[in-house]
Structure 1
Amino acid sequence: MVDVGHIIFQGWAPLLRTAIGTTITYIALVVLLRLAGPRTLAKWYAFDLIVTVALGSTFANSVLSGDISVAQSLVGFVILIGLQFIIAFAVAHWSPLRIIVNPQPTLLVHQGKLVRDAMRSQRVAEADVRAAVRQHGIDRLEDVGAVVLEADGTFSVIRQLGSEASALADIPELGGSNAANRSD
């Protein structure tokens, strides 16, 4: 027989554990995220998403599971944020890792023409490109010099390509290369 009362209420001790554990882990997570800096919750690269989801899962488990101690949750938070910090630091200072962790920008529109092979390989719909162009106040695709799908999934719209466009130095289709990703 199912004890509905036990399903709804198992006593004050589990509620107290949840209240104390939630408060401590919440405060710890806020402090750790502040210490880690804005990069931890900035634009979503793949490893940022993994860390964010893992932090949420760790937080939820610490709040709801009586089998996980607050100390275990705190260790999990510190390790996850520490790994994210180490990877972000390494990506910023060691170009081979940057190329592995962050995808290269992809040219989707060049001189007003859609680069359909690139759009297909990146799974970007023409409607998404047109929306990005409109968001930049341009009403004709033909008036766009370039649309670039950035490593974080956002679109950069460039009205006119200059002959020495240094901001496009890491886009192979425009003569750039991964060498532009190297730290000096």
Structure 2
Amino acid sequence: MWFDAWADVLRTLAVGSAAYVTVVLVLRVSGKRTLSQLNAFDFVVTVALGSTLATILLSSDVAWAEGFTALAVLALLQFVVAWITTRWPVTKKAVTSEPVILVKGGILQDVAIRRNRLTASEVCQAVRGSGYGDLAGIEAVVLETNGTISVIASSTYGNGSAMEGVTQSP
């Protein structure tokens, strides 16, 4: 349980070092989007990369070359999906969700809140967490594509140009 053999420890050191360098290289080549977590799909890829690295480090059944291939495939597929969704907007809907407005002009949008499996108290918690104690001073609360909640005060709303593409409640 505490120690099996020096060979296993040395393998972890050697393969771990090589896998670390590989991850750094793959991430540098694939670009910032690979770990961006802009949406749920990006988050899943980030978790998959971490899981793959852990498997390479700890499983003697996985050779470094196999691990490198797995990391490269994940990064390549992330690149391909990002490339496709930026060029053909219709494909973006298959991979990502749209941001949704939960509060508009200080009024809770109950249908949107329920549709997104949230409660009014969770929305109010996000408002309080942003330093506001009253919905009346809030122009918009948006559930973003990555699951975070953005709170926009009436005083900072401006012309609302950042709200383009946000799904409005019926």
Q: Shorter-chain TM-score category?
A: 0.7 to 0.9
Residue 165 (structure 2) aligns with: 170
Distance 2:63 2:138 in 1: 56
* Equivalent position of 2:92 in the other structure: 98
Q: Please, which of 58, 62, 77 is the counterpart of residue 64 of structure 1? A: 58
- Alignment of 1:143 onto 2:128: no
Q: Larger Cα Rg: Structure 1 or Structure 2?
A: 1
Q: Percent identity?
A: 38
Mapped partners of 1:63, 1:159: distance in 2: 47
- Asked if structure 2 preserves the Cα contact closer than 8 Å seen for 1:143 and 1:159, the reply is yes
Distance between the aligned counterparts of 2:4 and 2:162, measured in 1?
60
Give the Å deviation of 1:104: 1.1
Is contact 1:108–1:114 with CA below 8 Å preserved after alignment? yes
The 1:16/1:140 distance shift into structure 2, 3 A limit, reads: same
Structure 1, unpaired ranges of 5+: 1-6, 176-184
Partner of 2:16: 22
Paired letter, 2:107: K
| Structure 2 partner of 1:37 | 31
What residue is the counterpart of 1:110 in the other structure? 104
Structure 1 contact 144–157 (Cα < 8 Å) conserved: yes
Find out whether 1:125 has 2:151 as its counterpart. no
**Alpha-carbon distance in structure 1 between the residues aligned to 2:121 and 2:31:** 35
Instruction: Give 1:79 deviation, angstroms.
Output: 0.4
Q: Counterpart of 2:134 in structure 1: which amino acid? A: R
Aligned length: 168
Paired AA for residue 126 in structure 1? A
The letter of the residue matching 1:85 is: F
User: How far is the alpha carbon of 1:173 from its aligned partner?
Assistant: 2.1
Give the residue type in structure 1 aligned to 2:123.
V
The residue type equivalent to 1:150 in the other structure is: E
- Out of 69, 74, 86, the position equivalent to 2:68 is 74
On the 8 A contact 1:132/1:157 being kept in 2, the answer is yes
Length-normalised TM-score, structure 1: 0.80
Q: Are residues 94 and 58 of structure 1, via their aligned partners in 2, closer, same or farther at CA, if it must alter by over 3 Å?
A: same
Q: What are the Cα deviations for residues 104-152 of structure 1, in whole angstroms up to 9, with x where unaligned?
A: 1111011111111211111223233223323444331012222111111
Q: Which has the higher contact order (CA 8 A, sep 6+)?
A: 2
- Give the RMSD, CA atoms, in angstroms: 2.2
- What TM-score, normalized to structure 2? 0.86
SS of equivalent to 2:168: helix
